[in-house]
Amino acid sequence: MYHWWKIGIQNKVEEMAHYREMQMGRIHAWNTSSFAFDELGK
């Protein structure tokens, strides 16, 4: 049940971003904490 709510929220945010002409992308959360915030990587 909660999975559907999560997808619904993600879709709504994408819709709002598109309306404001913003670009969005989805990434997998797996292993993202190993990368630096400034995108320099490991």
Amino acid at 15: E
What's the number of CA atoms in the CB half-sphere (13 Å) around residue 13? 10
The pLDDT, as a whole number, for residue 30 is 73
Please, which residues have CB within 8 angstroms of residue 24's CB and are 6 or more apart in sequence?
A: 13, 14, 17, 18
Interval 1-42: pLDDT, tens: 677 888 899 899 999 999 999 988 777 777 666 655 666 655
The pLDDT, as a whole number, for residue 6 is 85
